[in-house]
A and B are shown apart, each in its own frame.
Chain A
Amino acid sequence: MSDGHAHSHDDHGHGEALPGTIGHVTPASTLIGVFLTLVVLTVITVAAAQVDVGRLNVVGALAIATVKGSIVALWFMHLRYDKRFNFFIMFGSVLFLLWMVGYILFDTKMYQHDMENYRHNKTVDGKPKPE
């Protein structure tokens, strides 16, 4: 959001902000609502983990955590009302995190098979080690 836009928040405090206040004033009801939503999502996370669906457990847990994290970032951290530049700093960091985890996982999975063979006293081709 542009600088001018941020200024307009000065008189956008849901009617309760004092004149000349810097930034967006979050209503008390929103803060309580966000907290309760996060608690409900925590309960769902715990409940979902009790059901064993193999690999989908990780996917589900990460999906709910991502929703929770986004709620924290958008409301508690004011990213919804903040300058867009701040949003992109965070978004960029998360993107690089995914990139790093993704590529390293890809790489390690590719060579893990060779390493297992090596550990079992074989050559990397899977043939018995010549003695």
Chain B
Amino acid sequence: MHFDTLHNQFQAGKLGMWLFLGQEVLFFAALFTAYAVYRGNHTEMFHYGQFFLNWQMGAANTIVLLFSSMTAAWSVRCAQLEQRKGLLLTIAVTWLCAATFMIIKYFEYTHKIHVGSVWGASFNIHDFSELPEKLQKLLTEQGITTTEAANAKLGKDGLGLGTFFAVYFCMTGLHGIHVLVGMGLYAWLFVRALKGSFNRKYYGAVDNIALYWHIVDLIWIFLFPLLYLIG
């Protein structure tokens, strides 16, 4: 052991994790800046882009992540109280919530790719009838009824929705990668908990991974309203 006491070791590990989390906030800061700049200058792009997002799916994912944040915090409590079954259960539930989040995300992504509402110059709607109903109605009111006309209005020579979806995929994609990393970490924690590696004086891994998981939740708390709700 390289530290005087287990308490020192725990606090040093935690400090390292907080420095990493501080860096994570700065990492995402760049993407939030991109969002703010595009939104500040092209509000209409976000107004139209939002028609493509399913807020029910976003809300479901929010609840899933909030619940997993609670079970992650609970796993720390179980480790401190040396409740082995509770620790295994809370770790497993957190992992399952992360998997649920990714499954919902998968359905969202595949639908967007199917419709053609994707990033940058690749944005190209395949079929007018596949557009979200509310958007179809809005476009019809403006006399836009064909796929070509819709692309002219929404595409790169029009509102430039490709930029909206570039921001959308970068932000949710980077967040999704964090969720996948979290799944890997919780799988590793489960194996270690199964071996009985943790006790009330040695549970730094459980605590630090929970901290990481909370920051993933925290970022989603901001992404959800910014992308799905306000148009």
Contacts and interface: CB of A to CB of B under 8 A. Distances in A.
Interface of A: 3, 6-7, 13, 16-18, 20-23, 25-26, 28, 31-32, 34-35, 38-39, 42, 45-46, 49, 57-58, 61-62, 64-65, 68-69, 72-73, 75-78, 82-83, 85-86, 89-90, 92-94, 96-97, 100-101, 104-105, 108-109, 112
A76 B36 contact: no
A93 B218 contact: no
Dominant secondary structure of chain B at its interface with chain A: helix
A129 to B, nearest CB: 20
Contacts of A34: 70, 73
Interface of B: 6-7, 10-11, 14-15, 18-19, 21-23, 25-26, 28-30, 32-33, 36-37, 39-41, 55, 59, 62-63, 66-67, 69-70, 72-74, 76-77, 80-82, 200-201, 203, 207, 210-211, 214-215, 217-218, 221-222, 224-226, 229-231
B37 to A, nearest CB: 5
B230 A77 contact: no
Contacts of B67: 35
A96 B230 contact: no
